[in-house]
């Protein structure tokens, strides 16, 4: 392919792209059988699809569906639309979420997640950086703190906190076995199933 867009239905396909051009591939309904995409600079769109992406310069757009999954060689730029679900296995990926999206990080390290209002997140990775700014709404992060190197970056002092220590000091029980951080009119972050006292100032950054 050269400068083209191809739609692929079903799973288990081997897709090779021309690394000298910006190609586009749309993966549809792979039903749990991942497509393998090889090549660089390939725009990849997922619609209820699972993909193994081999190529660090590939941007991925998760456009619809709740059963999307991406794994790859690392360094991907991933956009997830509002209300869409994604399971991610990878490292050094950058993920930008729309409102009310869900992201399950199965494994990997040093991923950067920019959240939006009402997102539902699960952190099964190491050294994940969650960037929270604007309107967080009822943002929920599960399993945060299982790895002590995870960090919440409160962009532009989200919630009015001047220091990481101030954010830690403001944590309160969520009444369901976790802790919650109020962000004032911007919403809150619920750290589901994280015991009070488990988080420290090392887990927060004021961006």
Cα gap 200→58, rounded to integer Å: 35
How far is 60 from 87, CA to CA, in rounded Å? 13
C-alpha 92 chain-centroid distance: 11
Tokens at 20, concatenated: 């000298």
For residues 59-83, average pLDDT: 92
For residue 185, the SS3 value is helix
Domain count, the chain: 1
pLDDT digits over 43-63, tens only? 899 999 999 988 766 789 999
pLDDT of residue 60: 92
**Closest by alpha carbon to 29, among 62, 68, 59?**
68
180 in Cβ contact with 195 (< 8 Å):
no
pLDDT of residue 47: 95
Query: Does pLDDT of 154 surpass 50?
Result: yes
Q: Which of 124, 122, 156 is nearest to 139 (CA)?
A: 122
The sign of the torsion formed by the CA atoms of 161, 165, 171, 177 equals positive
Measure Cα distances from 31 to 46, 65, 130, 180, 203 in Å: 12, 12, 29, 36, 37
Q: What is the CA radius of gyration of the chain?
A: 18
The single-letter DSSP state of residue 31 is T
Residue 192 has pLDDT above 80, yes or no: yes
Average pLDDT score, the chain: 91
Q: Which residues pair with 139 in a beta bridge?
A: 189
pLDDT at 142 over 70: yes
Mean per-residue pLDDT, 106-120: 97
The yes-or-no verdict on residue 72 having pLDDT over 90 is: no
Q: The domain containing residue 127 runs over which residues? A: 5-206
DSSP state of 126: B
Write the DSSP assignment of 111-142 as a string of letters: -EEE--TT-EEEE-SBS-EEEE-S--EEEEEE
- Of 46-50, 54-58, 138-142, 172-176, the poorest mean pLDDT is in 54-58
């Amino acid at each position: 392919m050269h400068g083209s867009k191809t739609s692929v239905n079903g799973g288990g396909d081997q897709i090779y792209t021309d690394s000298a051009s910006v190609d586009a591939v749309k993966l549809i309904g792979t039903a749990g059988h991942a497509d393998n995409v090889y090549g660089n600079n390939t725009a990849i769109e997922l619609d209820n699809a699972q993909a193994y992406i081999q190529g660090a310069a590939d941007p991925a757009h998760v456009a619809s569906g709740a059963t999307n999954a991406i794994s790859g060689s690392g360094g991907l730029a991933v956009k997830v639309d509002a209300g869409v679900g994604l399971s991610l296995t990878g490292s050094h990926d950058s993920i930008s979420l729309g409102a009310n999206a869900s992201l399950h990080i199965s494994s990997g390290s040093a991923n950067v997640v920019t959240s939006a209002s009402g997102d539902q997140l699960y952190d099964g990775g190491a050294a994940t950086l969650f960037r929270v700014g604007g309107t967080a709404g009822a943002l929920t992060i599960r399993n945060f703190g299982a790895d002590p190197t995870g960090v919440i970056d409160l962009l532009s002092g989200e919630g009015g906190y001047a220091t990481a220590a101030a954010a830690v000091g403001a944590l309160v029980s969520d009444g369901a076995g976790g802790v919650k951080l109020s962000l004032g009119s911007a919403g809150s972050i619920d750290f589901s199933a994280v015991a009070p006292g488990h988080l420290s100032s090392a887990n927060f950054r004021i961006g």
